[in-house]
Amino acid sequence: NKAVCKLSVSLKQFVVHDALPTVYYIPDFISEDEESYLLQQVYRSPKTKWTQLSGRRLQNWGGLPHPKGMVAEKIPDWLQTYCEKVSSLGAFNGQTANHVLVNEYKQGEGIMPHEDGPLYHPTVTTISLGSHTLLDFYAPVSCLEGDAPQTEENRYLFSLLVKPRSLLILQDEMYQQLLHGIQARAQDTLTDKVANLSAAGGEPGKTLIRDTRVSLTIRHVPKVIKAKLILGRK
Ligand SMILES: O=C(O)CCC(=O)C(=O)O
Ligand SMILES: [Fe+2]
């Protein structure tokens, strides 16, 4: 775990230099028309496709990732297009994304700091629709030394501003070693803790009011199995 802790410290320094090694932020990755189209498709999906969680709801497309392998389900064309578009950037080492999570956050909602786990290729790509948000990054609990209480505040490292229509790509240590989350807030005040402030066109001190944000988290699940094989699982 020591290497992880060192890494967090060095990432802290990168914040100041506005240059994180494995973060790519692409503003206006999609057009306003594409954004409206995607939102329309998300809200046109059957009600049963939504899972309500505390503080957000989500749609899962492509199958449920499982340690024994994901039974792949066809991704609808309106999402498949973007799986291919993102994959063609080389985000998944030549593989094509086969899994999409659609998260919806109403104003004031968020997601607790977490790791995405080992079932995915260590790259996460996110298209934001409808609103900006701040994605916050945290050091793992094991990295705090001495008597410092392991509060969220003490583990907080920096944030990334994601604007609507942007694509965010996180790879390697950014993805594997740090926790990420979104504070349940109705508005965000930009500070120098926002590592991509200039790339995202933000101004320090400015307050951005959140609206409903829908995010498309596009990933590659390497381990896929045929439906037949699952019969033996239970
Ligand atoms: O909405 C986002 O950008 C983050 C979603 C996320 O972290 C997740 O679904 O695991
Ligand atoms: Fe996540």
State yes or no: pLDDT of 107 exceeds 60.
Answer: yes
State yes or no: pLDDT of 97 exceeds 70.
Answer: yes
Q: What's the pLDDT at 11? A: 40
Q: What's the pLDDT at 15? A: 38
Domain ranges of the chain: 2-232
At 232, is the pLDDT very low, low, confident or very high (cuts 50, 70, 90)? low
ipTM over 0.90: yes
Task: Kindly give the distance from the C-alpha atom of residue 13 to the centroid of ligand 1, in angstroms, as a whole number.
Answer: 25
**Residue 159: CB within 6 Å of ligand 1?**
no
Residue nearest to atom 10 of ligand 1 (CA): 116
Instruction: Identify the bridge partners of residue 171 per DSSP, sorted by sequence position.
Output: 123
Rounded Cα distance between 130 and 128, Å, is: 7
* CATH superfamily name and code, 2-232: Alpha-ketoglutarate-dependent dioxygenase AlkB-like (2.60.120.590)
Query: Which of 55, 45, 144 lies closest to 108, judged by CA?
Result: 55
Task: Kindly give the distance from the C-alpha atom of residue 103 to the centroid of ligand 1, in angstroms, as a whole number.
Answer: 7
Query: Token match 């206006």: residue?
Result: 28
At 6, is the pLDDT very low, low, confident or very high (cuts 50, 70, 90)? very low
Comparing 69 with 15, the larger pLDDT belongs to 69
**Residue 111: CB within 6 Å of ligand 1?**
yes
